[in-house]
Structure 1
Amino acid sequence: MQTTDPAKSAYFREKGWWGNTTFTSLMDEAILGAPDRVALIDPLNRAVITGGTQCRLTYTDVSRLADFLAHRFREKGIGQGDKVIVQLPNIAELVISYLALDRLGAILSPVPMQYGRFELSHAAQETEADAYLTVADFNGKNYLENRLTAFPAKTKLFTFAAEPKENYITVPYFSDISPETLEGQAVFDRAISSADDIYTICWTSGTTGVPKGVPRHHNHWLSQVYAVRDAAPVDDGAVMLNPFPLTNMGAISGFLYYWPMAKACLVLHHPFDLQLFLTQIMQEKVSYTIAPPAVLSMFLQHTELHDKVDLSHVRYIASGSAPISPAVTKGFKELFDVEIVNFFGSNEGAGLVGGPVDVPDTEVRATMFPRFGRPEIKWSNRFAARSRTKLVDWQNGDREITSAKETGELLVTGPNVFDGYLGDIPNNPAVFDPEGYFRTGDLFQISDDGRFYIFVGRRKELIIRGGMNISPEELDTVVGDHPYITEAAVVGYPDDVMGEKVAAVIVTSQTDFTLETLKAYLAERGVAKYKWPEKLVITNALPRNAMNKVVRQQLSDFL
């Protein structure tokens, strides 16, 4: 399955931006170069998550297990071009499934563990899934229950389990497979694939309607990885800790492809648990990881942890998915000499990143992104020159915006940008503009000096109060900076006079925290009064999706 126009592929190959490298070939180089190096480590709580025992696998182990799984798929009739929906937590079996299915030439569609029967049925229908792979148990519960009816009869159902499961083709946990079995198996006869063949079909977050499939091939993914590698370069053999689900751009480009490039050790984590996360950082001497802004802020606020947690091996912590407070980027640098790298991206291929080389000022790095994709501005990150970006006035015929202070939608094009949603028609004007730029739906402004983009919000999430546009993301950060608030998000609610007003949903340990307390704080910060929340809801936790992003549409349920 290929989606890229041959002329476009030829152009990118001529430029040297695309080639013949695949995930399999990257792994082959790592396996050959460091066969006995520890490559993959299960979560500390692996036995609790799914059963089985924690795996610590060398590159040779990974290769043999990938062959074992590929053999099992082929025996059951799964082959090149077949589509396999994979629903696994961050365990060794998930990572090795990526390699096994690529060796098979199959297409992998990873879905979050949160997906239920409704979402699975949609994914199965859209992909015309040939197979489904999951686990029998998850967090002590039967995970197979109520999933059979999500798939048509033609879909072959596979599960990792300690014992056979009815209606499923059972694959043993990797920790239960003997070394003798792996050493004695035949080498898998791999499919011949192109780097332009679709490898993954990821899914949009689904917070604004039905999730859409995002087909991407190896050249798409590899083009995206340059943004990560140049912003957070790690040494050969470095230890990476990934707590984000391997179902989307952040984890796939930030870890899965980067891992063999550095012949690194990939440590897995799931679900997010701060204590286990910090323990893994110390035990495995992690040099590169990723964490959402709320977690970074929480760690800085809990000063009693600072002397107990050794971050001396950590060089970079990537973050994103929500605005970062300047106090966070500054605090980690001054207290721990750790660089926070600010990422902005999407499954479709948008990519902006602020690292210490291009943005040495930590506070600027938190609030602004380098204006990649503008040939008139030079950056050290190779990704910047390979992409093109622009801001347009989406309300006025895509007029390009080039001056500061004016809000526009970010449009992007380049070798990392997908070709269109699954089942969509090519060059859909709702998705791409006439020049082929992808419409991200994200709103930015240009900085006064013209070198940076400043994130404003999402087109569909803007709160419009009396004709004034209010960015909920901006308010999230300001409200969340209150010393007594640990989590915060705002949402608009209908008003007969103003059209919309602002409500704040917060998590706080202060039982006497009131709306008036919050207003006084915003007044002290000098926040314009029209932005002030006029409702306050205190809750135990904000609704979040698999990427730890706040599901803003669900905030209305709290009002």
Structure 2
Amino acid sequence: MERRWWSTLTVLDLLDGHVRDRGDACAVTDPTNLPELCGIDPEALTWRELDARVDDLAAQLRESGIGPGDVVAVLMPNSIALTATYFALWRLGAIAAPMPASYRRHELTRIVESASAVAVVTVNNLGDRVPSEEALSLIGELPSLRTVFTFGLPVPNGGRPLDAAPATAESLEAARRAHAALPRSVNDCITICWTSGTEAAPKGVPRCHGDWIAVGQAVQDGLETDPASVMLNPFPMVNMAGFATSLLPWLLGGGHLVLHHPLDMAVYLDQLQRYRVTHTSMPPAILTMLLQREDLRAAHDLSALRRVGSGGAPLPPGVVRDWQYSLGVEVLNFFGSNEGVCLLGAPSDTPDPMIRAEYLPNYGAPDRSWVTEVAERTSVRLVDLATGEQVTEVGGRGELRLQGPTIFAGYLAGTAASSPFDDDGYLCSGDIFELCGDNGEYLRFVDRSKEIIIRGGMNIAPAEIEGILIDHPAVADVAVVGYPDDVLGEKCCAVVVPATAAGVELEDLVDFLRAKEVASFKLPERIVTVDELPRNPIGKLQRRDIRSAIGKVG
């Protein structure tokens, strides 16, 4: 707080304010397909009803032993249950460790172990899976884990249901007293999100009230939501994408949050029309597809839509232009990471949609102000990785490095091999940008220095999948690289040196990974066999050469 970077408010203060000021207004609505997803009836709650639900869950969790400082892993689809669970944990002083609902036992094991989580909150059914049983199987195997809490259709497997019966009056009162007596600070850690990065194991990204609100404010200043806004969130509410583009702007601006995920276009378009959505987020591929599909747009009333946030891949300038001038919808260009990179191309800063699609604001540019106040408290550098010198000439390229209120304090102990900060305390993003504009006022994304693959907005660490596949008896050596996909941005290709003349098939690798309970989005969707993988003198895979080679294979 000594730098005056952060608000004095907490996330809980924001919720309390809306409950007090607009308790009877609609606050949050479940996905309409929630029954098909996990057997939970959809609801719509006012701010006052949401507050009561949070109170109830906090009382049940506290009665089961959850208290200040406890880490609780959360694996659920976007829903009111997920939203209320977060606030219930925060009221108890506990820390949520969220993960995508598509994660399975393999990923859950690593996260529970890394965070020393004492409990898991999950659902009993998710498609053809029973996530609660996956979590329960870890009790006794992981020493910290003692309880699995569940939502959804009852399953007699030992999980503790949170939606079977309400908390007693005594439990509610005890939880409220505990909450009132608990010291609260903007520096309190409330989440540990997870990022794959370039290492096989997930890295924990602790976040406190202060820096989450700073991130949310940066986005809110561009979205400009208010109590009349209706926000539709299609991104999993587990990390920067879901929190920054929906949960935090909703809390900062008020309004109505409509939840969605996993992406189902029929349900998504129906929600846009049914709830008269004013703000939403879309991956670039969906922006392009909807622009091309006049039939889909004509079949749904999208006239309330005003602003769309997009990112995760370069935005086609012509698409952003046509959304604005033909459809009357402004597209915002987001660039972010769990560690706190948070750049926002907003219409008020960059009115020309062609420029806004291709360029992001350089918060370090002299004599230039930006719509978000966070920009004034953020220091930006581009550093030439070859020379270590700061890039100052327009047209120069370097790694993006930042200091400021959106940047996290460092990875969870034991989850990262090295510090992400340079000697001056700047976050090394691993992203290469070019300095652009007449006076260096813009940044253009060039490439990632990291080896991460981003498939439909989900991060995949190649080393993690390689570490599993190398144990396949038919694999002598393997590299996992991304290849372009028009819809998802990237998909995974396994480049394999077979161990025998009989070779290996893609189906064999996929079955092997499924047997290890690896999340489906991480499975390779293409295989290329080679005699040898290119490596440098110290044995490091030359991934750029590999990607180039598989591109030539076609």
Same fold (TM over 0.5): yes
Count, aligned residues = 470
The aligned counterpart of 1:147 is 135
Task: Answer yes or no: is the 8 Å Cα contact 2:312–2:335 preserved in 1.
Answer: yes
CA–CA separation in structure 1 for the residues paired with 2:343 and 2:296:
32
The aligned counterpart of 2:540 is none
Quick check: 1:11 aligned with 2:6? no
CA–CA separation in structure 1 for the residues paired with 2:400 and 2:524:
25
Quick check: 1:557 aligned with 2:547? no
Q: Which amino acid aligns with 2:389?
A: R
The aligned counterpart of 2:108 is 120
Q: How does 1:164-243 map to 2 (within 5 A)?
A: 165-172=156-163, 185-186=172-173, 188-189=176-177, 190=179, 191-205=182-196, 208-243=199-234
Q: Which amino acid aligns with 2:158?
A: N
CA–CA separation in structure 2 for the residues paired with 1:294 and 1:273:
14
The aligned counterpart of 1:308 is 299
The aligned counterpart of 1:417 is 407
The aligned counterpart of 1:85 is 73
CA–CA separation in structure 1 for the residues paired with 2:447 and 2:274:
38
Quick check: 1:458 aligned with 2:448? yes
Q: How does 1:459-538 map to 2 (within 5 A)?
A: 459-461=449-451, 489=490
Task: Answer yes or no: is the 8 Å Cα contact 1:286–1:313 preserved in 2.
Answer: yes
CA–CA separation in structure 2 for the residues paired with 1:204 and 1:388:
23
The aligned counterpart of 1:339 is 330
Q: Which amino acid aligns with 1:27?
A: L
Q: 1:177 to 1:556 in 2, by over 3 A?
A: same
Q: 1:442 aligns with which of 431, 438, 444?
A: 431
Task: Answer yes or no: is the 8 Å Cα contact 2:204–2:415 preserved in 1.
Answer: no
Q: How does 1:300-449 map to 2 (within 5 A)?
A: 300-396=291-387, 398-423=388-413, 430-449=419-438
Task: Answer yes or no: is the 8 Å Cα contact 1:49–1:138 preserved in 2.
Answer: yes
Q: 2:273 aligns with which of 273, 282, 286?
A: 282
The aligned counterpart of 1:45 is 33
The alpha carbon displacement at 1:554 in A equals: 4.6
The alpha carbon displacement at 1:429 in A equals: 6.8
**TM-score, normalised relative to structure 2:** 0.79
Task: Answer yes or no: is the 8 Å Cα contact 1:163–1:172 preserved in 2.
Answer: no
The alpha carbon displacement at 1:493 in A equals: 10
The aligned counterpart of 1:522 is none
The alpha carbon displacement at 1:159 in A equals: 1.1
Which one is further off, 181-190 or 290-299? 181-190
- Which ranges in structure 2 are unaligned for 5 or more consecutive residues? 454-482, 496-518, 529-549
CA–CA separation in structure 2 for the residues paired with 1:126 and 1:197:
19
Q: 1:36 to 1:486 in 2, by over 3 A?
A: closer
CA–CA separation in structure 1 for the residues paired with 2:76 and 2:215:
24
Q: Specify the SS of the correspondent of 1:200.
A: strand
Q: 1:162 to 1:339 in 2, by over 3 A?
A: same
The aligned counterpart of 2:98 is 110
Q: 1:177 to 1:269 in 2, by over 3 A?
A: farther
Q: 1:118 to 1:429 in 2, by over 3 A?
A: closer
The alpha carbon displacement at 1:454 in A equals: 0.4
CA–CA separation in structure 1 for the residues paired with 2:197 and 2:87:
27
Task: Answer yes or no: is the 8 Å Cα contact 1:285–1:313 preserved in 2.
Answer: yes
Quick check: 1:57 aligned with 2:67? no
The aligned counterpart of 1:505 is none
Quick check: 1:26 aligned with 2:14? yes
Task: Answer yes or no: is the 8 Å Cα contact 1:443–1:456 preserved in 2.
Answer: yes
The aligned counterpart of 1:293 is 284
Q: Which amino acid aligns with 1:412?
A: L
Task: Answer yes or no: is the 8 Å Cα contact 1:49–1:140 preserved in 2.
Answer: no
The alpha carbon displacement at 1:489 in A equals: 4.5
The aligned counterpart of 2:456 is none
Task: Answer yes or no: is the 8 Å Cα contact 2:125–2:153 preserved in 1.
Answer: no
Q: Specify the SS of the correspondent of 1:138.
A: coil
CA deviation map 1:30-56 (0-9, x unaligned):
000111111110001011111121101
Q: Specify the SS of the correspondent of 1:279.
A: helix
Q: Which amino acid aligns with 1:88?
A: M
Q: 1:367 to 1:451 in 2, by over 3 A?
A: same
CA–CA separation in structure 1 for the residues paired with 2:404 and 2:429:
13
The aligned counterpart of 2:88 is 100
CA deviation map 1:163-215 (0-9, x unaligned):
35322112116xx869xx79995372213221101110000045652210000
Task: Answer yes or no: is the 8 Å Cα contact 2:191–2:208 preserved in 1.
Answer: yes
User: Percent identity between the aligned chains?
Assistant: 36
CA deviation map 1:364-397 (0-9, x unaligned):
111110112345432232121111111001222x
Q: Which amino acid aligns with 1:458?
A: R
CA–CA separation in structure 2 for the residues paired with 1:230 and 1:319:
15
The aligned counterpart of 2:154 is 163
- Which ranges in structure 1 are unaligned for 5 or more consecutive residues? 1-8, 464-477, 495-547
Q: Which amino acid aligns with 1:413?
A: Q
Q: 1:165 to 1:412 in 2, by over 3 A?
A: farther
Q: 1:167 to 1:556 in 2, by over 3 A?
A: same
CA–CA separation in structure 2 for the residues paired with 1:488 and 1:214:
25
Q: Specify the SS of the correspondent of 1:298.
A: helix
Q: 1:94 to 1:479 in 2, by over 3 A?
A: closer
Q: Which amino acid aligns with 2:191?
A: T
CA–CA separation in structure 1 for the residues paired with 2:484 and 2:172:
58
The alpha carbon displacement at 1:218 in A equals: 0.6
CA–CA separation in structure 2 for the residues paired with 1:149 and 1:492:
31
Q: Specify the SS of the correspondent of 2:111.
A: helix
CA–CA separation in structure 2 for the residues paired with 1:288 and 1:486:
22
CA–CA separation in structure 2 for the residues paired with 1:135 and 1:325:
38
CA–CA separation in structure 1 for the residues paired with 2:425 and 2:136:
40
Task: Answer yes or no: is the 8 Å Cα contact 1:118–1:150 preserved in 2.
Answer: no
CA–CA separation in structure 1 for the residues paired with 2:491 and 2:262:
25
Q: Which amino acid aligns with 1:131?
A: A
The alpha carbon displacement at 1:346 in A equals: 0.5
Instruction: Calculate the aligned-residue CA RMSD, in Å.
Output: 3.0
CA–CA separation in structure 1 for the residues paired with 2:447 and 2:423:
24
Q: 1:461 to 1:213 in 2, by over 3 A?
A: closer
**TM-score, normalised relative to structure 1:** 0.78
CA–CA separation in structure 1 for the residues paired with 2:491 and 2:41:
42
Task: Answer yes or no: is the 8 Å Cα contact 1:42–1:92 preserved in 2.
Answer: yes
Q: Specify the SS of the correspondent of 1:47.
A: helix
CA–CA separation in structure 1 for the residues paired with 2:386 and 2:86:
41
CA deviation map 1:332-383 (0-9, x unaligned):
1122110000000001100111011101010111111011234543223212
The alpha carbon displacement at 1:270 in A equals: 1.7
Task: Answer yes or no: is the 8 Å Cα contact 2:97–2:191 preserved in 1.
Answer: yes
